[in-house]
Amino acid sequence: MSWRLSVAPMMGFTDRHFRFLLRQISQGVRLYTEMIPDQALLHGDPQRFLDFHPQEHPLALQVGGSQPESLARAARLAKAWGYDELNLNLGCPSPRVQQAGFGACLMRDPLRVAECLGAMWEASRLPVTVKHRLGADELESYGYLASFVERLAQAGVGVFIIHARKAWLQGLSPKENRTLPPLRYAWVYQLKRDFPELLFVLNGGIKDLSEAEGHLRWVDGVMIGRAVCRDPFLLAEANSLVFGLAREVDRVEVVFKMAAYAEEQLQRGVPLKAIARHLLNLFHAQPGGKLWRRRLSELPTHAGPEALLEALEVIGAQASRGPGEGVKRSTSAETRLKEHGEERSEGFSSSSAGSA
């Protein structure tokens, strides 16, 4: 199983529709859900939180919590639903999460974290990983970080995803906590030297795949967040650069696949807008990209999947007038949509696993 390249868990972004889109762009990239607090999972509607499309694999569920018993119950659900990995959030600094006693404030309590991770593994036998910071508040030294990693490794954790800045738990908003504390990539490189048998995935501030490639000389994997939201198609290069796959993708092809997916989803009551919002930046920095964005943001409430193909035709017409790439391939839109509909696989996993 590879952690070489992954897309970061991001609340409000990495829902199942965004993940499906990312999978159409890159076959190898590892995907994470948004963070789901264990209490929401156990007392809410698990199907709503856990369902995913079979094409999303490899896929990790990220949970938040600090009670071994409830995390173990969440882990059992993850296993039953067919997730490939279970990740514990130790990096979220939001006041609500702190109040509930999990996220980044758990960086103070490696013993409790080790207990939680042990319980999650016992309950699921899934690979259990952590996503954490370099430290929190005054706990800001390489020595503390290394002892934290060592303690968790003793509990059986083998994969550490590290947002390479500490968290300020007082006085900074979650957004500021993603920019203000300085990034210290060198600390993560050092961890790899000190614990060569463990896997380290570096996260924070990586803007594109050439930066990612640079880090991959020192660590086992990289995780990219905001840059993928700004430009999801940046992952297309990963197929050859990171995974050595010959497969090429193009944006038009991706839109057709998303239109077929949207057709399936609409039948389940998902509004097109819930899917189209993730496609807004698909033509980032491309001819017609702004027009595409505008068309998609102004979709009428009851728009169907053909609206995506119409938007494609509109920018195809525009692009063919300008110098850049031509996207005039969408001529027989309806036929292509049908073809992709026939190709798609069996739908959501909930029916087989929902009884858990």
Q: List residues near ligand FMN by CB under 6 A.
A: 8-13, 34-35, 62, 89, 91-92, 131, 163, 178, 203-206, 224-227
C-alpha span between 340 and 333 (Å, rounded): 11
Q: Which two tokens stand for residue 88?
A: 């514990």
Question: Known catalytic residue: 105?
Answer: no
Instruction: Report how far residue 356's alpha carbon sits from residue 345's, in angstroms, rounded to the nearest whole number.
Output: 23
- Smallest separation (angstroms) from ligand FMN to the CB of 260: 28
- The token pair that represents 295 in the structure block: 């068309």
C-alpha distance from residue 353 to each of 83, 87, 119, 350 (Å): 11, 20, 22, 5
The distance of closest approach from Cβ of residue 134 to ligand FMN in the complex, given in angstroms and rounded to an integer, is 12
Nearest approach, Cβ of 178 to ligand FMN (angstroms)?
5
Select 92 or 107, whichever has its Cβ closest to ligand FMN.
92
Q: Tell me which of 92, 105, 116, 229 is the catalytic residue.
A: 92
Say which residues have a Cβ less than 8 Å from residue 80's Cβ, sequence separation at least 6: 353, 355, 356
Specify the residue, 227 or 254, whose C-beta has the smaller distance to ligand FMN: 227
Measured from the Cβ of residue 280, the count of other Cβ atoms closer than 10 Å reads 17
Closest CB 173 distance from ligand FMN, rounded Å: 12
| Minimal CB distance residue for ligand FMN | 225
Taking the least distance from each CB to ligand FMN, the nearer of 90 and 319 is 90
The whole-angstrom separation of Cα 9 and Cα 61 is 9
User: Least distance from C-beta 125 to ligand FMN, angstroms?
Assistant: 23
- Residue 331: CB atoms within 10 Å: 9
Between CA 27 and CA 318 the distance in angstroms is 30
DSSP state letter for 160: E
Tokens of 108: 């103070």
Task: Provide the minimum distance between the beta carbon of 257 and ligand FMN in the complex, in angstroms, as a whole number.
Answer: 25
Q: Which is nearer to ligand FMN, 10 or 255 (CB)?
A: 10
Between 156 and 174, CB nearer to ligand FMN = 174
Residue of 7, 11, 172 lying closest to 98 (CA atoms): 172
Q: State the CB neighbour count (10 A cutoff) for residue 172.
A: 15
Q: Which of 218/266 has CB closer to ligand FMN?
A: 218
Nearest residue to 337 via CA among 319, 303, 312, 320: 312
Q: Would you name the residues annotated as active-site residues?
A: 92
